Chains A and B, each alone.
Chain A
Amino acid sequence: MTATIVARDLDVFYGERQALHGVRLDVPAHAVLALIGPSGCGKSTFLRCLNRMNDTVDGVRVRGSLTLDGEELYGPDVDVVALRRRVGMVFQKPTPFPKSIFENVAFGLRLGARVPRAELEGRVEAALRGAALWEEVRDRLATSATMLSGGQQQRLCIARALAVEPEVLLLDEPTSALDPVATARVEALLQSLRERYTLVIVTHNLQQAARVSDHTAFFLHGRVVETAPTEVLFTRPRVKETEEYITGRFG
């Protein structure tokens, strides 16, 4: 089951400052949604609402509706830990724990409940396969994850996120620290993950958004200016501000 996210009139405040203004956005299931826009436009704030990472920021206030399969993410009874298992996240810089490759992937599984060793091994392998890393690490699972290359570390982080079998995967500039070859591997991986997960990626790289996403949302000053199928948004956007941004006539 892959989730569908719906935002309606979503406002986010950091103290007095309003970071999102009445965001209305549908995140379709089994697709890659790219969030683009200049720095400070609110795209990362929106991404971090989706698994309530913003809760960790002092003075944050959220208003409006944000649902995952119809369930309000900011409802009073929401179990945030359970939510973050459903909505995984991968960050800009690879963040492997100083543990073995195996333990990195098994980490989230062990947090939830006691998992028999055989099942654990199976799920670690499945996650590493899902992240297109298994063939490269199968003979050295006990090696420290910090020995992997940057690109491999990022795919390990994706494997770690996949291990707990989320429905949604959030990616915050996941390749900005990677070389072109590692970037291509991660992008190819995103294409294959789309079949099983809903993916939301924040990227400053417009070519990357054009390459990997099915839909693109352009954020500006905390608002969604335009959302469209990626092919449409990058060839014939409806809104002047979008055209100015994607053609580099901006700021």
Chain B
Amino acid sequence: MLGTRHTDASYEEELRRLGTHVARMTALSERMARDAVTALRTRDGALARAVVASDPELDRLEIECDAMALRTLARRAPFGEDLRLVMACVKVVTDLERMGDLACNLAQRALELMQDPVGLGPGPEVEQLADAALREVGDAFAAWQARDADAARAVVGADRTVDALNRTAFATLLQLAREQPGQFDRALALTSICRYLERIADHAVNVAEQTVFLVDALDVRHGLSGDEGR
């Protein structure tokens, strides 16, 4: 990444503001995902409802980021790293907004599970999946903020772990539903939660891939090495 500032200070400020806006979205979407998982674990209804209530703010930030990016493209016709930054921001904010939606879904399933007076937790397999997915989110966002392509590549590689944990959790929940029909609704809600967690991690991988594109100008999506686009 370039250390030098733009000759035009207002352009520098425009790109900085776009970056700050995306950073606000990463912070909010990560908090929503973490709070949704905490609400599930601790059966905290107020926290789950707070997650759902945060979503309009994330949507608003997405719209603002897109408008800022559009303005920059129209007015500045950026090149090189600046062009990659604007492109990457446009793509990343879509992932962040969807992560927010998935966190809301997760919070709503958690609220449904809280209706059950027995008060069973999500179980160790789902907990492990949640830990891995949230770790992936944290690592991906840290790599994006630090513009660290190597750390971003590590996130892309780590996604296999989340996929494997999701398969294990799903199999366990399927077995639970078969063996204990009384737990069917709970198992169904938890399989949905597993799917949300796995998709949240997928969006984190997308952010990591955009970080590699931004820093190294390589397209590593869909298993590409990056040289294909050269």
Contact = CB atoms under 8 A, between A and B. Distances in A.
B2 A236 contact: no
Contacts of B8: 248
Interface stretch (B33-41, B72-80, B102-110, B166-174): B72-80
Interface residues of B, number: 17
A240 B217 contact: no
A247 B15 CA distance: 11
Contacts of B80: 234-237, 242-243, 246-247
A243 B83 CA distance: 11
Contacts of A249: 2, 4-7
Given A235-B84, A235-B217, A236-B217, A206 B79 contact: yes
Q: Interface majority SS on A: helix, strand, loop or mixed?
A: helix
A207 interface: yes
A235 B79 contact: yes
B81 interface: yes
Interface string A54-68: 000000000000000
Interface string A88-122: 00000000000000000000000000000000000
Nearest to B8: A248
Interface residues of A, number: 18
Given A207-B77, A236-B217, A247 B84 contact: no
A247 B217 contact: no
A243 B7 contact: no
Contacts of B4: 244, 249-250
B82 interface: yes
Interface of A: 206-207, 210, 232, 234-237, 240, 242-244, 246-251
15 contacts: A206-B79, A210-B79, A234-B80, A235-B79, A235-B217, A236-B80, A237-B80, A242-B80, A246-B80, A247-B78, A247-B80, A247-B81, A248-B8, A249-B2, A251-B7
The 7 closest A-B pairs by CB, nearest first: A236-B217, A246-B79, A249-B4, A243-B80, A234-B79, A247-B80, A247-B82
